A = this chain, B = another copy of it.
């Protein structure tokens, strides 16, 4: 016979009776997932490491997510949602500087480090790929769509250019610097992406 052990003191112990999910535990776990991704990369995010740092029992984590991929996918899917509001400066250039600037600032911080850690895994984990594309990338895509839509309505942007490679080029330069080139993500990059790439490609000649 085994002695019944008292439950370990964990962040969601107070809620044990109903086994409802405690939002505070969800937030603690997701925060730790981002920290570990940023500090140690994909290899560093194990259920053990997350449980230890979040001071949450592994059973609590497994009640929420069946695997580390599901846990990371939900975390990544909610990423960036607080990082951008659609600007309305009245001009295409003003709006683009706001959105590109917010993207550059986010990518050079801890959220950028965490996101980078999952890129190499996307091809092997379809659920993670969907969460990443619809969630954390989708936030920026939606902001650009809104800004460009307003500019089309003002006659500043040629609608024929939307949906072509031309409309992908500005953000792509930022992503390439962030993921591949190891070059600075600074204000000069924002200015150059807007003035040297996006405005020449999207506005009528």
Within 115-173 of A, Cβ neighbours of B (below 8 Å) are at 116-124, 129, 132-133, 137, 161, 164-166, 168-173
Contact of A124 among B40, B119, B132 (CB under 8 A): B40
User: What is the CA–CA distance of A23 and B129 in the complex, to the nearest angstrom?
Assistant: 38
Instruction: Give chain A's interface secondary structure class.
Output: helix
Question: Of A40, A129, A179, which is in contact with the most chain B CB atoms at under 10 Å from its CB?
Answer: A179
Residues of chain B within 8 A of A133, CB atoms compared: 180-182
Interface residues contributed by chain A, number (CB under 8 Å): 43
User: What is the CA–CA distance of A113 and B124 in the complex, to the nearest angstrom?
Assistant: 10
Q: A133-B182, A175-B176, A180-B175 are in contact. Are A116 and B116 (CB under 8 A)?
A: no
Residues of chain B within 8 A of A193, CB atoms compared: 165
Instruction: Choose the segment among A4-12, A26-34, A194-202 that binds chain B (4+ C-beta atoms closer than 8 Å).
Output: A194-202
The 3 closest A-B pairs by CB, nearest first: A172-B172, A172-B176, A120-B120
Q: Could you name 28 residue pairs across A and B whose Cβ atoms are closer than 8 Å?
A: A40-B124, A41-B120, A41-B121, A41-B123, A42-B43, A42-B120, A116-B119, A116-B120, A118-B120, A119-B120, A119-B180, A122-B182, A129-B182, A133-B180, A133-B181, A137-B181, A161-B196, A164-B192, A164-B196, A165-B173, A165-B197, A166-B197, A168-B177, A169-B170, A172-B176, A175-B180, A200-B201, A205-B205
**Chain A contacts to B: CB under 8 angstroms:** 40-43, 113, 116-124, 129, 132-133, 137, 161, 164-166, 168-173, 175-177, 179-182, 189, 192-193, 196-197, 200-201, 205
